[in-house]
Homo-oligomer: A and B are copies of this chain.
């Protein structure tokens, strides 16, 4: 079971879900992807799942970012084609859809019964505010042990599933930036712990505007819903292959571990330095020098 949530680790939520999984499926390994999805941020959780997808093996993905817990939104288990995880379990709010798309699409869906058929947890079931414990974990444990989905609820039409939330990735690298004359405008898709700013652009997008490895670009921070104080800031960034090819204090544009372009700062936080606050903010990138003759570490597109 691969487990992702917005539960944080300050409380015992994650531990209790682990305890429930262990009680129902003691031999199943549980791998925590992250529990620090920003609270209620379904799109951020969806993006994290997509980035993780290629590295997940057989098993079940259990994902909970669920502002609608306790309402009549469905709890679902989605079956995807073989190759990686076979089942995705979580709320029907779009969280699972981008991952499902990246894994080949949803083949079947089951709406999980609010009271699962595997027996009540020892403590009974009080208020409906913790479906991770009461609904999703029991279903994930059942499926991880090879159980059939039929007993967990009723099949539902895949076409009725909630779509991916606004701002979530479409299911693979390649979301194109906007053309802007000889420049591109790309929105921010992720700011990681190091302050690297991932953009909705791939290396070929840089090449298309003449920004070759080793070349430099004029990078302008654009206003966006992230609300950072950075709009209007302009810096020069160099297209490089690795952080280590940057001089101290130099900004870089490189292909990151997900195949996307990231705006980075050597041993520093590009996001903090440029006051880029979050997903949905953006940058404009315009090549300003041919570069090519001394491609520092460059092997890009």
| Category for how many chain A residues contact B | 35 or more
Is the CB–CB distance between B33 and A12 below 8 Å?
A: yes
Is the CB–CB distance between A71 and B245 below 8 Å?
A: yes
Is the CB–CB distance between A9 and B31 below 8 Å?
A: no
A58 to chain B, nearest CB (A): 9
Could you tell me the distance between the alpha carbons of A201 and B10 in the complex, rounded to whole angstroms? 23
Could you tell me the distance between the alpha carbons of A54 and B40 in the complex, rounded to whole angstroms? 26
Beyond A71-B245, A242-B69, A256-B129, whether A15 also contacts B39 by CB under 8 A is no
Q: Which residues of B contact A39 (CB under 8 A)?
A: 193-194
Is the CB–CB distance between A193 and B256 below 8 Å?
A: no
Q: Which residues of B contact A193 (CB under 8 A)?
A: 7-8, 10-11, 13, 39
Q: Which residues of B contact A126 (CB under 8 A)?
A: 173, 255-260
A235 within 8 A of B: no
Q: How many chain copies?
A: 3
- 12 further interface pairs, Cβ-Cβ under 8 Å (given A19-B33, A71-B243): A4-B12, A12-B34, A12-B51, A13-B193, A19-B31, A54-B122, A54-B123, A69-B244, A71-B242, A126-B260, A129-B255, A129-B257
A150 to chain B, nearest CB (A): 26
Could you tell me the distance between the alpha carbons of A256 and B123 in the complex, rounded to whole angstroms? 13
Is the CB–CB distance between B36 and A15 below 8 Å?
A: no
Could you tell me the distance between the alpha carbons of A149 and B257 in the complex, rounded to whole angstroms? 25
A250-265 residues at the B interface, CB under 8 angstroms: 254-260, 262
A225 within 8 A of B: no
Residue of B nearest to A254 (CB): B127
A126 to chain B, nearest CB (A): 3
- Chain A 67-87, CB within 8 Å of chain B: the 1/0 string? 111110100000000011000
